[in-house]
Amino acid sequence: MMIEILSWVCLTLGGLLGVVGGIGMHRFPDFYTRLHAVGITDTLGAALFLLGLGFQAGLTIASIKLCLIFVFIFFTSPTASHLLANAAMLGGLKPVLSNDDIDNPEQLDK
C-alpha cells in the first residue's frame, strides 16, 4: 500500500512538473528563458514519472528498462538544451535582457 501511494505521488509530481514547464514555455518572454524553464522541468519531471512507473512495476525487467531510460534522459536532455542554446547564440539570436532593450514589443510573441 505504501509503495502504491509513493508511486502515485511521484507520477503526480512528474505530471505537474511537465505542466509547469509548459506554462513556463508559454509565459516567459524569449527563447533562452523558455529553454531554461523547459530544460529544468523536463528532466526532473521525467525522472519522477519514471520513478513512479518503476514503483508500479516492482523489481522486474521493466523497472530495469525504466532505469536505463532515465539514465539516457538524464544525459541527453541537458545536452540537447545546451546545444539548442549554443546554436541559437551562434545563429545571432540575442537574449532579451530587459523590457527597455526591446524595440518592438510584438517581438516577444514570436
**pLDDT tens sequence across 16-42:** 999 999 998 888 888 998 998 888 898
Q: What is the pTM of this model?
A: 0.74
φ and ψ of 91, to 5 deg: -80, -5
**pLDDT tens sequence across 64-97:** 999 999 999 999 999 999 999 999 999 988 888 7
What letters, b where the CB count within 10 A reaches 16 and e where it falls short, cover 36-49? ebbbbbbbbbbbbb
Identify whether the C-beta of residue 60 lies closer than 8 Å to the C-beta of residue 109: no
